[in-house]
Amino acid sequence: MKNNFICPRCKGYLNVGDYIILAADTEHKDAGLILLSPELGNYSVKTNSEFEIRAGEKYDFFCPVCQEKLATDVHDNLSRILMIDNNNNQYEILFSKIAGEKSTYKIIGESLEIYGDNKSNYMDFINLSNFK
């Protein structure tokens, strides 16, 4: 069984096949669906050819089921979804909203795994005592 990714609010499933599907928009109100790899540390992205991802631009991500903003209190540049593994363990997944910035954090309790070339960017903001 593969990991499942869910919305923190509605608990709707976000992954279909080999992708996590999120709605995204920018401060310029460009909007579209974005397909992310479910493999943590793999930063490949697919979008409609008309929805251009621009390096360095900030994107807000939303649940495509309930339209809730996938935000976190940790830092304004991070989004949050949940991952459930084969053993039914639930992890918080934080990832950068900045296109091209490779920062992902997998958190359960006081355990943290970090991924990406820019993984140190938000380490000072993550307080593990605030996570379940």
Work out the average pLDDT over 47-64.
95
Q: How confident is the model at residue 100 (pLDDT cuts 50, 70, 90)?
A: very high
Is residue 4 helix, strand or coil?
strand
For residue 96, the cross-strand partners are 78
**pLDDT score of 59 more than 80:** yes
Could you give the CA distance from residue 22 to residue 57 in angstroms, rounded to a whole number? 17
Residues 6 or more apart whose CB falls under 8 angstroms from that of 14 comprise 5, 6, 7, 20, 21, 22, 63, 64, 65, 81
Q: Which domain holds residue 59?
A: 4-130
Work out the average pLDDT over 11-19.
97
Work out the average pLDDT over 53-74.
96
What is the count of structural domains for the chain? 1
**pLDDT score of 37 more than 90:** yes
Q: How confident is the model at residue 127 (pLDDT cuts 50, 70, 90)?
A: confident
pTM, two decimal places: 0.92
